[in-house]
Structure 1
Amino acid sequence: MSKQIAVRLPDELVEFIDELVSSGRFDSRAAVITRQVRRLQRQLRAERDAEVYRTEGDYPDLVGLAEYMSAHPVPLDD
């Protein structure tokens, strides 16, 4: 499910978004915004998780996972 919202953006951002759409990189303005909001969401979750690991101490049972993920980074983009 999705909801339609209205936002005000500076002209230069709208022009940039329109360039991305007209170049074919994205299908619509909504696709640009959706991708970037999801990227920000993942980044903030990762920062929160990193803070938990930093403040809560070591997790020896997660060493293997950490080593694997260090060698196989997950891209922030879809």
Structure 2
Amino acid sequence: MSKQIAVRLPDELVIFLDALVAEGRFDSRAAIVTRELKRFKRRVEAEQDAEIYRREGDDDLAEFARYAARLPMDID
């Protein structure tokens, strides 16, 4: 299920979105926004998981969580 919403964006962002669509990189503005919001959602969830591991001290994953928390996350 999906819902249509209205979002007000600065002109320069709309121009950027329209250029991506015109170049054929995306089918629509909505496709771009959906992809990027999903990416951001996964990042927030990963950061929350890393914080849980840091706080609760899982011995096997604690060092990995500390390392991963410092890395920039660019996930699709």
- State the TM-score bracket (shorter-chain normalisation): 0.7 to 0.9
Deviation at 1:57, TM superposition (A): 0.1
State percent identity of aligned pairs. Answer: 63
The gaps in structure 1 that reach 5 residues or longer are none
Deviating beyond 2 angstroms after TM superposition, the runs of 4 or more aligned structure 1 residues are none
TM-score scaled by length of structure 1: 0.77
- RMSD across aligned positions (CA): 1.9
What residue number does 1:2 align with?
A: 2
TM-score scaled by length of structure 2: 0.79
Q: Work out which structure has the larger RCO, using CA pairs closer than 8 Å and 6 or more positions apart in sequence.
A: 1
The gaps in structure 2 that reach 5 residues or longer are 69-73
CA distance in 1, matches of 2:56, 2:27: 43
